[in-house]
Chains A and B, each alone.
Chain A
């Protein structure tokens, strides 16, 4: 069902007030893939996502979707192609799951248009994909964190966009719920070809779930490519200012970052060092 859309930034500079947060960024996001953006706190990850979905006007440069500048695209037209789940969306008091997910239909409706069978079908599909069908009558503010996050993703899915941007979709979730959410997004990507771009804090989950990794450092692109290419000890040092060992994740075969820290690291861990050296070519 997906036609592939290409989202790219061209010489993009973003900022709030006097402070430039992103500077001169050229980035093309692979259509039909999962791209994960990583970087230290305040390196401009969320700012980049906000700008890509038209929330923040660039200082210079542009964000381009299929050759068209997003900031010149009509809001609703863009919202039918590109969805965004912000980091902390507001849950109106007492809203039910069905009503919240239904709000995702907004870009497909006009001011006084009636609710259509198509709207119902989109909501139903979103509930099924996120396994939240049983929750339709529940109030969102009574749900657990994991359930609530799935409901918000369902809201974004009901929007039926081919591109989905998510700002830290796993924050505040315990590990099993984090995996559940990331598995769900992978399902969407694999079964529908939805292009997914998300910000994640956990490097190991980022390396495992990303087709493409983008590492930002101080508002600039530090590295982009496959997890194996990007997730190296050099990158971790450059982006986070931290020493680490990177080994192969025995579960997924992807890179696994082990921070050194000042305590607990036993020197002469030759096996880890060896693997990291073989994987450490950026």
Chain B
């Protein structure tokens, strides 16, 4: 057996051809996702109990006063659609960042208690103390980071093992959710809308004051995550391999955790912990685009699409209006069961 030193052209050609074909396919799918997100966004702005034509919507966006459209489109639909877009993108990106870094689809922030921490903090801040938007966001971030740290510390024993982290995270999430329920049940101005928002996530009655911080968070923290994209891909091969490939594992991990937790916290402070979006987006994006490149952007787009479509469906598809989290919950729960059943069949632990 003599290994050739000089590469014979056929292999190189095969490699280049395969890579170019996959990159092309990936770009095509990202473009298709962009188109779908755009279409869902436009539909959300135009359609509803009254229909506003695209021309009216555009004029409202440009700042004109349009009788019959300014209020429905400008005040009701636009902030809601923008929040659906940014919160979905945040959940999708942060979810897949965690799943890639910890190498398990069950380690998404909505399963391991991080969303629950942000949600509980936001619920307490708003319902009990009536704090301002900035204070709510700050508190949500602090709580989410605190939960991330707590889960990490509790799960740490000679490095972080996936299963222990997942089980501890699920336990803490349950604890925080019951805390949220308690706060909501004790609050004087308790109402169903608020309860639904902090328990499953809802976009009802969204205002610009709630939406603006999530837009800033995506613009500020999104690039930070994207910058770590290649390092994240290397981390999915295990810490030792990543380190051997020149990744500074600890630094990457801290950066990714802070950025992803920040995205989750801002989105949750505005829309609640929209059930399972962080959990579902990554695996869907991976199925669509393959394993070649970073999943951050595709997963973000899938998240946006999920939230936009689920919110629209929840509002208009049934006799009763359901908050977005109920719809995504119905989608996500079966997938969770499927994942657990499949891992058990394969003889693995969680």
Contact indicator per residue, chain B 197-240, by CB within 8 Å of chain A (1) or not (0):
00000000000000000000000000000011111011011101
CB of A102 within 8 A of CB of B19, answer yes
Residues of A within 8 A of B103 (CB): 90, 92
A82, A128, A156, A183 — most chain B CB neighbours (10 Å)? A128
Residues of B within 8 A of A80 (CB): 246
| B3 located at the interface, meaning its Cβ lies under 8 Å from any Cβ of chain A in the complex | yes
Task: Specify the chain A residue showing the minimal Cβ separation from B230.
Answer: A111
CB of B230 within 8 A of CB of A127, answer no
A184 with B290, Cβ < 8 A, contacts A106-B246, A136-B14 known: no
A3 CB to nearest chain B CB (Å): 16
Looking at A118-126, A205-213, A222-230, A243-251, the stretch in contact with chain B turns out to be A118-126
CB of A136 within 8 A of CB of B18, answer yes
| B62 located at the interface, meaning its Cβ lies under 8 Å from any Cβ of chain A in the complex | no
Contact indicator per residue, chain A 98-114, by CB within 8 Å of chain B (1) or not (0):
11101110110101100
| B16 located at the interface, meaning its Cβ lies under 8 Å from any Cβ of chain A in the complex | yes
Q: Which of B1, B10, B233, B245 contacts A159 (CB 8 A)?
A: B245
Task: Specify the chain B residue showing the minimal Cβ separation from A133.
Answer: B11
Residues of B within 8 A of A125 (CB): 7, 11
Q: Which of B7, B22, B158, B237 contacts A92 (CB 8 A)?
A: B237
Task: Specify the chain A residue showing the minimal Cβ separation from B251.
Answer: A75
Contact indicator per residue, chain A 185-204, by CB within 8 Å of chain B (1) or not (0):
00110011000000000000
| Bound-state Cα–Cα, A77 to B246, Å | 7
CB of A55 within 8 A of CB of B241, answer no
CB of B1 within 8 A of CB of A187, answer yes
Q: Which of A55, A83, A111, A188 contacts B3 (CB 8 A)?
A: A188
Q: Which of B1, B247, B292 contacts A183 (CB 8 A)?
A: B1
Residues of A within 8 A of B11 (CB): 124-125, 127-128, 133
| B59 located at the interface, meaning its Cβ lies under 8 Å from any Cβ of chain A in the complex | no
CB of B246 within 8 A of CB of A128, answer no
CB of A84 within 8 A of CB of B240, answer yes
A106 with B245, Cβ < 8 A, contacts A92-B103, A120-B12, A124-B12 known: yes
The A-B contact count (CB < 8 A) is 129
| A78 located at the interface, meaning its Cβ lies under 8 Å from any Cβ of chain B in the complex | yes
Residues of B within 8 A of A95 (CB): 291
Contact indicator per residue, chain B 140-155, by CB within 8 Å of chain A (1) or not (0):
0000000000000000
Contact indicator per residue, chain A 126-140, by CB within 8 Å of chain B (1) or not (0):
011100010011000
CB of B236 within 8 A of CB of A92, answer yes
Interface size class of B (residues with CB under 8 A): 35 or more
Within 8 A of A (CB), among B7-66: 7-8, 10-12, 14-16, 18-19, 22-23
CB of B234 within 8 A of CB of A191, answer no
Q: Which of B19, B229, B244 contacts A83 (CB 8 A)?
A: B244
Residues of B within 8 A of A84 (CB): 240-241, 244
CB of B244 within 8 A of CB of A79, answer yes
Residues of B within 8 A of A50 (CB): 240
Residues of B within 8 A of A45 (CB): none
| Bound-state Cα–Cα, A55 to B4, Å | 32
| Bound-state Cα–Cα, A88 to B103, Å | 14
CB of B246 within 8 A of CB of A120, answer no
| B248 located at the interface, meaning its Cβ lies under 8 Å from any Cβ of chain A in the complex | yes
Residues of B within 8 A of A172 (CB): none
Task: Specify the chain A residue showing the minimal Cβ separation from B236.
Answer: A92
CB of A89 within 8 A of CB of B245, answer no
CB of B8 within 8 A of CB of A128, answer yes
| A68 located at the interface, meaning its Cβ lies under 8 Å from any Cβ of chain B in the complex | no
| B313 located at the interface, meaning its Cβ lies under 8 Å from any Cβ of chain A in the complex | no
Contact indicator per residue, chain B 100-133, by CB within 8 Å of chain A (1) or not (0):
0001000000000000000000000000000000
Task: Specify the chain A residue showing the minimal Cβ separation from B16.
Answer: A120
B187 CB to nearest chain A CB (Å): 44
Interface residue total, chain A, C-beta cutoff 8 A? 56
A86, A88, A117 — most chain B CB neighbours (10 Å)? A86
Residues of B within 8 A of A187 (CB): 1-3
| Bound-state Cα–Cα, A206 to B329, Å | 56
| A76 located at the interface, meaning its Cβ lies under 8 Å from any Cβ of chain B in the complex | yes
| B315 located at the interface, meaning its Cβ lies under 8 Å from any Cβ of chain A in the complex | no
A94 CB to nearest chain B CB (Å): 6
| A53 located at the interface, meaning its Cβ lies under 8 Å from any Cβ of chain B in the complex | yes
A90 with B8, Cβ < 8 A, contacts A106-B230, A188-B3 known: no
CB of B230 within 8 A of CB of A109, answer yes
| A240 located at the interface, meaning its Cβ lies under 8 Å from any Cβ of chain B in the complex | no
| Bound-state Cα–Cα, A98 to B47, Å | 45
Q: Which of A76, A82, A96, A103 contacts B233 (CB 8 A)?
A: A103
| Bound-state Cα–Cα, A77 to B15, Å | 26
CB of A120 within 8 A of CB of B5, answer no
CB of A86 within 8 A of CB of B15, answer no
B75 CB to nearest chain A CB (Å): 39
- A90-B236, A120-B12 known, 8 other contacts, Cβ within 8 Å: A86-B240, A89-B238, A90-B238, A103-B237, A124-B11, A133-B11, A187-B2, A191-B3
Q: List 19 A-B contacts (CB under 8 A).
A: A55-B243, A75-B248, A83-B244, A89-B240, A90-B236, A99-B290, A99-B291, A99-B292, A103-B237, A111-B227, A120-B16, A121-B7, A124-B14, A124-B15, A128-B8, A129-B4, A133-B14, A137-B18, A183-B1
Chain A: residues with CB nearer than 8 A to chain B? 16, 50, 53-55, 75-80, 82-86, 88-92, 94-96, 98-100, 102-104, 106-107, 109, 111-112, 115, 117, 120-121, 123-125, 127-129, 133, 136-137, 156, 159, 183-184, 187-188, 191-192
Q: Nearest 3 pairs between A and B by C-beta?
A: A79-B246, A76-B246, A90-B238
